[in-house]
Structure 1
Amino acid sequence: MSEIEIRPFVASDIDDVFAVILPIQREEFGIAITADDQPDLGAIPDSYQSGKGQFWVAVRKGQIVGTIGLKDIGNSQTALRKMFVAADVRGREHGVAARLLAGLVDHAEAQGIKDIFLGTTDKFLAAHRFYEKNGFAEVSKSELPPSFPLMAVDSKFYRRRITAA
């Protein structure tokens, strides 16, 4: 596990971020989506690295193998977005997803964030188990804050309350 480094996104990471995310979206999830369809990824500093938000990458042997974003949506609330882990480093033995999420939660606590919301599709059963195991509880769409960035593909929603340390 120690071979994986979690660090904030820097501008030179952009091509590698797309190289991780796009194949997962297109080939694994069968979503016909392009980089242009995701303007938030083309503007990570503005979309995620502002307010109380941040965007992290997981790096293994100099290559980005995972991503996670925390978008500040106001009122000390945030949206977890763009959590992707390359297939060859998924699973407990690598701990990439767990480490990305732990870094995000640590950041949220340090920033005084109250809630982390996320949306996913009902197809991603492994993701549902992961989020539930990590303190997220399913909520209805009507419980989302008005500022939550809804995606057309999202049909299942989660919330994790953050309590100040």
Structure 2
Amino acid sequence: MATGELRIPHKPRLPDGLTLRDARDDDAEGLIDLIGGVFAEYPGCILDVDGELPELRCIATSFQRWGGRFWVVLREGRVIGCVGFTPSAASPGEGIELRKLYVDKTARKMGLGSALCDLVEGAARSLDKKFVELWSDTRFENAHALYARRGYTKGPETRDLHDKSASVEYYFRLDLRP
């Protein structure tokens, strides 16, 4: 899906002073700083861009190639939040996968994470999808609480990423009402 083809019925309401836009490949440095900062909050969580997350160097191109979309939130020109989606790997015609929801610690508790979830869930509805799914590192407990408040159900599945951080992820799913 090319950027611009998907029309979101309404943009989520963001806190004052923040700007939402489609990500560009030249957002790489800001995304790496944001995600690296979030990872640094958790002991043993390592950001290995070139070895494990090379898509951060060309985020717009990667998500377009994968059939999805990616957004960034800026404050005074600095990336302080991000989120994207791709088709569900298991059921691409039925759902989408929320990917890479990160919010800078200075921008939390302002409703930004929820606004970014609104954005992806709105995209799913615009695409007539039945569900939004995601995987989240077991260490990201604040994110899990956000997903629970939004109605996501934590499934029994986990997956081991076999990465430098020894990450294990929980599965979450939100069934959308017609």
Task: Bin the TM-score by the shorter chain.
Answer: 0.7 to 0.9
Shift of 1:122: 2.6
Count of aligned residue pairs for this structure pair: 155
Query: Which stretches in structure 2 are left out of the alignment for 5+ residues?
Result: 1-14
The within-5 A match list for 1:25-104 is: 25=39, 27-30=40-43, 31-36=45-50, 37-50=52-65, 53-73=68-88, 74-91=92-109, 94-104=110-120
Aligned to 2:141: 125
Query: Which stretches in structure 1 are left out of the alignment for 5+ residues?
Result: 143-148
Query: Whole-Å Cα distance in 1 between the matches of residues 148 and 83 of structure 2?
Result: 17
Query: Whole-Å Cα distance in 1 between the matches of residues 61 and 76 of structure 2?
Result: 28
Residue 26 (structure 2) pairs with residue 12 (structure 1): yes
Query: Whole-Å Cα distance in 2 between the matches of residues 155 and 12 of structure 1?
Result: 29
Question: TM-score scaled to structure 1, two decimals?
Answer: 0.82
The within-5 A match list for 1:136-147 is: 136-141=152-157
**Greater Cα offset, 9-18 or 81-90:** 9-18
Identity over aligned pairs, percent: 22
List structure 1 runs of 4+ shifted beyond 3 angstroms. 149-152
Residue 174 (structure 2) pairs with residue 160 (structure 1): yes
Query: Whole-Å Cα distance in 2 between the matches of residues 108 and 40 of structure 1?
Result: 22
Query: Whole-Å Cα distance in 1 between the matches of residues 130 and 65 of structure 2?
Result: 17
Q: CA RMSD in A?
A: 2.1
Query: Whole-Å Cα distance in 2 between the matches of residues 150 and 43 of structure 1?
Result: 25
Question: TM-score scaled to structure 2, two decimals?
Answer: 0.77
- Paired amino acid for 1:114: K
Does the C-alpha gap of structure 1 residues 47 and 76 become closer, same or farther in structure 2, counting only changes over 3 Å? farther
Does the C-alpha gap of structure 1 residues 82 and 62 become closer, same or farther in structure 2, counting only changes over 3 Å? same
